[in-house]
Amino acid sequence: MPDSSNPVVETDPRRTLATLKFQKAIAKLYEDLVRATHDAREKQSNEGIHTAASYARRTADALTARFQTVEELFEATYLHTYQQQPMSESDCAWVREQAAAVIDEQLKRVQDRIEQLCSSFVGSSPQQYSKYVASAESEAVLMKGRIDNSITIHMLEQKTVPAKHHDVSSQWDVFICHASEDKAYVETLAHKLTEAGVRVWFDRTAIDWGNDLRTTIDHGLKNCTYGIVVFSKAFLAKKKWTEYELSSLFALEEPGRTRILPIWHGISEAEMREYSPGFSLRLAKVSTTRDSYQEIVESVKNLVNKTATEGGQTPSATSQYPKREHQGPAAADAHYEMVGKAEPLVKFIVRTITDGSGDYVLETWVGTPLELSSTFRGTRIEVALKFTTADKEMQLKGYSRRGNFVGDRAFNLS
């Protein structure tokens, strides 16, 4: 692994941060790798010799596939560090050195696991071992080539794309997330917003023939100030692209930085609560019974103007997050992981607030390493309901609860 004690690394905070983030992420991945091979070995020993070849092959393939995950982690930590500031020639050389060290270390780990695999599975042969190792070595070569290309592309993009100022306005004021069944309503809304001078990302006008859907949508999501989400019966059916867009907008929210502007279109509060208790608590526009096109357009214009006046800061969806000196001890926490998949870790922490309000706050931490994603502040009962609902939603998504601390019985998850 790259040596974090290197004096060159220590003199550059960006290099230190990238190294520490990657080491933390790869440690978790290695734990999964050990667990996967152990589970396969246990399963094979229970089912007998006739399954040995199949388990050995699938486990070896899974080990080799880890190269791609390591590659994604490398780019997400090392290259992301240089998104906001240019990468010098020295930085570029350093990142390439780190990539070479990472690839060598990953190849050694996979070779060691393959050796253990072939010695543990009954019926494994030297030919199989050679085949699996050769496959891992080929993947390591491909990984090096892909990372080299990514670094080169990153350098060229910095030279050809003008640097953004820290307070640059987004390319679009609003991104409209909706189900295709609601196209008639949304098309009229998009037209009226555009007439009012609001810059709108709307799929019918933003996606051209031949565009890659995910790339184009991601660009719109990352470069919008707000996301208008039209919740309807069709939307609540949880379609692929609507869920992807909503999850992305939620992931982009930060404490004090709200992005999602909900519109309830032909649904009741009970239906919204069943779909997502958390989103049902947000103040929403109700298109069919209360809020006209004009009222929604005026509200969007006011928000956009306020954001521009305040230098890009948007109002919080919940009460103000407590100052550090007002954060009390944790009343409960729970953390989750998706076994066998490179999904981000998730942790919920409930804290008391000592500013005299009697409120509690629920923090949501996501990623590897964990970073604060969102907060919810409310009464003890409100936060307890939010906490238990979030636990159920995580398990429905396929996550496993790996730890749970309860210091207040109101937050008991069992």
> Catalytic site residues?
245
C-alpha–C-alpha distance, residues 33 and 63, integer Å: 7
> What single-letter amino acid sits at 193?
L
Q: What is the DSSP string of 2-23?
A: --TT-HHHHT-HHHHHHHHHHH
Beta strand 200-201 pairing with 172-177: parallel
- Calculate Rg over the CA atoms of the chain: 25
Cβ pair 301, 197 in contact under 8 A: yes
C-alpha–C-alpha distance, residues 178 and 292, integer Å: 18
Helix (H) or strand (E) holding 173: strand 172-177
Nearest to 143 by CA among 194, 212, 71: 71
Left, alpha or beta for 62 (phi > 0: left; psi -120 to 50: alpha)? alpha
Cβ pair 325, 339 in contact under 8 A: no
Cβ pair 263, 287 in contact under 8 A: yes
Q: What SS3 class is residue 414?
A: coil
CA 213 to chain centre: 19
For residue 326, CA distances in Å to 347, 351, 394, 408, 409 come to 21, 10, 29, 19, 22
Nearest to 408 by CA among 342, 344, 339, 330: 330
All residues at 6 or more sequence positions from 207 whose CB lies less than 8 Å from its CB, including other chains = 213, 216, 217
Torsion angle in degrees (nearest 10) through CA of 356, 362, 364, 369: 50
C-alpha–C-alpha distance, residues 29 and 360, integer Å: 33
